[in-house]
């Protein structure tokens, strides 16, 4: 039997979603990767999953999309599990940048030239280079396996079209990577590191997958539906902190003010967010605002957070 809050959510969710839908018309589907531009412009979907296993969904929650930057949260966690805090934070900082996610300014302007945080491209590429594995294939395999565990979904896989599209057009990421190599941040072969990076960005999910992965974070690393401890609590804490300060690109500050939940967005229009101890949430809405976040998705989360008084602050 559903909790009273879940009942209320189930009841109101379709209406809230309806209210947010028109926002999509003001946004644009990402086009820098040709494959991404095929996403349905006006889609909007959401799935919430509670620690007791109850869920609520609305809209296009079955839409499948690539994780893109959302994957950065979990590769960071895997890199922390592989290397520990000290090693990881010797290569990547902890500060929001105020710049675009693909900016190179601070790599040139601010010594010692390490990426400011693991949520921007420079930082996430660095993190990808820290994943343990004797080959790009093995690293990618370990990442995919970890993601499958987190999502409780053995069928997670890559969208090879998106992967190739990203790899083919990823010249800015190549530029960033060679700059990182110059600064001594990245070791190993650039194309191999980027292969790992492009692959985990291309893992396909739906809202339910995101909600389940988020629920593990909301539950301090344990999957409440299986009881398995998948992530040490400290690394969940680190991840949730980065999601709060840097998770929504250079609109993270506004999201913290207006929604107040740890979250991570991707240019495919996905958002993974959570209510600590209570809910994992997956959202998708491919039309993006000028900061690269789902226009309607952010609006929807803002509505829900206000209605249910969910801000952490």
Residues that bind a second copy (CB under 8 A): 93-99, 103-106, 108-110, 116-117, 171-172, 174-179, 181-182, 190, 237-238, 240-242, 244-246, 250-254, 256-257, 260, 262, 311-313
Residue for token pair 């991404």: 36
Task: Report whether 166 belongs to an annotated binding site.
Answer: yes
Task: Report whether 29 belongs to an annotated binding site.
Answer: no
Task: Report whether 117 belongs to an annotated binding site.
Answer: no
Decide whether 82 or 254 has the Cβ nearer to a second copy: 254
The catalytic residue among 267, 275, 284, 298 is 267
The catalytic residue among 249, 275, 298, 305 is 249
CA distance 76 to 7: 35
Does the annotation count 267 as an active-site position? yes
The catalytic residue among 197, 235, 279, 295 is 197
Task: Report whether 18 belongs to an annotated binding site.
Answer: no
The catalytic residue among 72, 91, 139, 264 is 72
Does the annotation count 32 as an active-site position? no
- Contact status, residue 53 vs residue 225, Cβ threshold 8 Å: yes
Task: Report whether 219 belongs to an annotated binding site.
Answer: no
- Distance in Å, CB of 102 to a second copy, minimum: 9
Residues in the chain: 313
- Distance in Å, CB of 157 to a second copy, minimum: 29
Q: Is 68 left (phi over 0), alpha (psi -120 to 50) or beta?
A: left
Decide whether 160 or 312 has the Cβ nearer to a second copy: 312
Tokens of 259: 């929604």
Cis peptide preceding 112, ω within 30 of 0 = yes
Does the annotation count 69 as an active-site position? yes
Does the annotation count 295 as an active-site position? no
- What residues form the annotated binding site for substrate? 69, 121, 166, 173, 197, 249, 267
Catalytic amino acids?
69, 72, 197, 249, 267
- What residues form the annotated binding site? 69, 121, 166, 173, 197, 249, 267
């Amino acid at each position: 039997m559903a909790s009273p809050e879940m009942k209320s959510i189930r009841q109101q969710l379709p209406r809230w979603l309806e209210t947010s839908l028109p926002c999509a018309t003001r946004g644009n589907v990402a086009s820098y990767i040709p494959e991404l531009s095929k996403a349905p412009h006006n889609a909007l979907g959401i799935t919430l999953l509670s620690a007791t296993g109850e869920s609520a969904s609305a809209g296009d929650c079955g839409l499948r999309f690539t994780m893109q930057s959302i994957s950065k949260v979990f590769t960071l966690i895997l890199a922390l599990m592989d290397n520990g805090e000290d090693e990881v934070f010797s290569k990547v900082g902890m500060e929001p940048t105020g710049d675009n996610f693909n900016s190179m300014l601070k790599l040139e302007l601010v010594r010692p030239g390490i990426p400011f945080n693991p949520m921007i491209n420079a930082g996430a590429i660095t993190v990808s280079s820290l994943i343990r594995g004797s080959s790009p294939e093995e690293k990618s395999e370990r990442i995919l396996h970890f993601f499958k565990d987190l999502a409780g979904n053995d069928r997670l896989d890559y969208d090879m079209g998106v992967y190739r599209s990203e790899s083919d057009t990823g010249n800015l990421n190549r530029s960033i990577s060679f700059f990182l190599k110059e600064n001594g941040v990245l070791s190993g072969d650039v194309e191999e590191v980027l292969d790992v990076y492009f692959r985990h960005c291309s893992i396909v999910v739906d809202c339910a997958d995101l909600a389940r992965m988020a629920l593990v974070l909301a539950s301090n690393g344990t999957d409440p539906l299986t009881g398995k401890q998948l992530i040490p609590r400290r690394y969940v804490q680190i991840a949730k902190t980065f999601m709060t300060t840097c998770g929504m690109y250079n609109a993270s500050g506004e999201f913290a003010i207006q929604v107040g939940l740890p979250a991570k967005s991707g240019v495919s229009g996905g958002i993974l967010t959570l209510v600590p101890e209570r809910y994992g949430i997956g959202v998708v809405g491919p039309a993006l605002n000028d900061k690269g976040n789902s226009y309607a998705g952010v609006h929807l989360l803002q509505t829900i957070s206000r209605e249910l008084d969910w801000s952490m602050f």
